[in-house]
A and B are shown apart, each in its own frame.
Chain A
């Protein structure tokens, strides 16, 4: 999620909060093609589709997102990120592509 988030950032999240487009969320991703579980992840919520939430990564050079995985079922959006507490405390985590 660079440049928005970096390794080791401490985030304040609200578990079970209502997802909204543009927010960063903690999500559960489907297992990879070898059946290995993917780690619980942070992704950008883009839009609500019939199949669930379409999520993207802020960094185009790393990771996977809905362009590969499709929309995530609603129950797999676990929490909404409210702020980064440390370092660089901040409420707004704007999408670098906007």
Chain B
């Protein structure tokens, strides 16, 4: 009982480190999974306040998917990668569009769209890990 009354200092975190260093497509995937979960939650809860918050957060997380993909596209991948994987530019273009406002996950609340986005990120992720193995 006494120990419960005494103050103790515990270290707590607000976020976890990514497991694999600076670059990891998991960052984009986690946000895309979040988008899918948000869309699922929206079907189960019709409370207008909840729906408004869900749409706001879906917008925000979609923007984060684009951000994380752009970081990979511009910072991680280098010219030799684009030579070796000629479809890589196209993949990034399609993936970021799937997260966007022109029919992507910003604009629609469709789990199938979120699955398409996840599949596209997965294709990029496969290439990413192949380049890591080659390095």
Contacts of B10 in A (CB 8 A): 26, 40
Contacts of B19 in A (CB 8 A): 32, 34, 36
The secondary-structure label for the interface of chain A is loop
Verify if A45 is at the interface (C-beta below 8 Å from B).
no
Verify if B106 is at the interface (C-beta below 8 Å from A).
no
**Is the beta-carbon distance between B15 and A57 smaller than 8 angstroms?**
yes
Q: Which of A12-40 contact B (CB under 8 A)?
A: 15, 26, 29, 32, 34, 36, 38-40
Contacts of A43 in B (CB 8 A): 14
Smallest CB-CB separation from B56: which chain A residue?
A: A97
Binary interface encoding of chain B residues 16-27 relative to chain A, with 1 for a CB under 8 A from any of its CBs, else 0: 100100000000
Contact of B14 among A34, A36, A62 (CB under 8 A): A62
Verify if B118 is at the interface (C-beta below 8 Å from A).
no
Tell me the minimal C-beta distance from B92 to chain A in angstroms. Answer: 20
Using A15-B4, A40-B10 as known contacts, say yes or no to A63 and B16 having CB atoms under 8 A apart.
Answer: yes
**Is the beta-carbon distance between B12 and A39 smaller than 8 angstroms?**
yes
Verify if B37 is at the interface (C-beta below 8 Å from A).
yes
Of the candidates B4, B15, B57, B61, the one having the most CB atoms from chain A within 10 angstroms of its own CB is B15
**Is the beta-carbon distance between B64 and A32 smaller than 8 angstroms?**
no
Contacts of B33 in A (CB 8 A): 68
Verify if B60 is at the interface (C-beta below 8 Å from A).
yes
Contacts of A57 in B (CB 8 A): 14-15
Q: Name B's A-contacting residues (CB within 8 A).
A: 4, 9-16, 19, 30, 33-34, 37-38, 57, 60-61, 64, 67
Q: Name A's B-contacting residues (CB within 8 A).
A: 1-2, 5, 10-11, 15, 26, 29, 32, 34, 36, 38-43, 57, 59-64, 67-68, 70
Q: List 11 A–B pairs whose Cβ atoms lie within 8 Å, in order of A's numbering.
A: A1-B14, A26-B12, A38-B16, A39-B13, A41-B12, A59-B15, A63-B16, A64-B16, A67-B37, A68-B33, A70-B37
